[in-house]
């Protein structure tokens, strides 16, 4: 055999994710460096996680990209004009890719950690649920007719401001977490309620960090806040 099944899956994963990323870049959903980062994350998820993990990632990316394109002229964020950057892609997908790597390595430690495959799947789904809930909340919330309010004080803020929330956006975030939870249960057999609650909670934490920390300290940029929120989503899903 020219390639082992693992190497074959890895090569196919990188090819598929590269094609999807290039297509997204042409439609200005991703910048050039964002497309490279997405290809890397997609390749890792497909290669180390497997086909079903890759399907869940593609479902999240496709649905969220369509929401980004929906009424884009009425939205003010930079990604609606030039696409998401590498930093944003890595911040949103880095934790999920880490769990895919861990899943691919389970043959080396599954005798040590009980139910290692399920645990990595739950962590992966928790991370995807977190970023999906946050993305849907932001995209849908930007179309709210009422002004967003700061999550910490209730003070009105401008549309797209870090830490600003609306009822419409919050409902959108809940739907995004539910979307991930349902498809994750179908594909990876993860618990629906746990994945939904973890994603929704991570979305609220993302808004809280946005209000209190983002752009106020060097460590807390939009990308790093997304990373920490997705890490929280994974951790909470595993704890529950």
What average pLDDT score do residues 220-240 get? 95
User: What are 114-173's pLDDT values in tens digits?
Assistant: 577 889 999 999 999 999 999 999 989 988 888 899 999 999 888 878 899 999 999 999
pLDDT beyond 50 at 1: no
Nearest Cα to Cα of residue 83 among 130, 39, 21, 144: 21
- Give the pLDDT confidence score for residue 145 in this predicted structure: 86
Q: Which tens digit of pLDDT belongs to each residue from 38-68?
A: 999 999 999 999 889 999 999 999 999 888 8
* The pLDDT of residue 80: 60
Instruction: Specify the pTM.
Output: 0.91
Give the domain ranges of the chain: 5-239
Specify the higher pLDDT residue, 75 or 185: 185
Could you tell me how many residues make up the chain?
240
């Amino acid at each position: 055999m020219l390639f082992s099944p693992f190497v074959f899956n890895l090569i196919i994963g990188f090819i598929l994710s590269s094609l999807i990323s290039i297509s997204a870049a042409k439609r200005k959903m991703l910048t050039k460096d964002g497309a490279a980062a997405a290809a890397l994350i997609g390749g890792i998820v497909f290669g180390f996680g497997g086909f079903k993990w890759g399907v869940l990632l593609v479902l999240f990316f496709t649905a969220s990209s369509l929401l980004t394109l929906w009424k884009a002229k009425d939205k003010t964020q930079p990604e609606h004009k030039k696409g998401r950057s590498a930093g944003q892609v890595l911040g949103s997908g880095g934790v999920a890719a880490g769990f895919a790597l861990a899943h691919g390595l389970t043959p080396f430690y599954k005798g040590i950690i009980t139910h290692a495959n399920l645990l990595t799947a739950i962590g992966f789904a928790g991370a995807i649920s977190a970023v999906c809930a946050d993305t849907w909340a932001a995209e849908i919330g930007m179309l709210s007719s009422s002004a967003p309010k700061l999550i910490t004080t209730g003070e009105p803020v401008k549309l797209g401001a870090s830490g600003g929330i609306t009822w419409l956006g919050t409902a959108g975030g809940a739907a995004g977490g539910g979307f991930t939870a349902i498809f994750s249960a179908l594909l990876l057999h993860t618990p629906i309620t746990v994945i939904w609650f973890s994603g929704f909670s991570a979305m609220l934490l993302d808004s809280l960090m946005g209000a209190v920390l983002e752009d106020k300290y060097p460590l807390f940029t939009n990308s790093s806040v997304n990373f920490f929120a997705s890490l929280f989503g994974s951790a909470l899903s595993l704890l529950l």
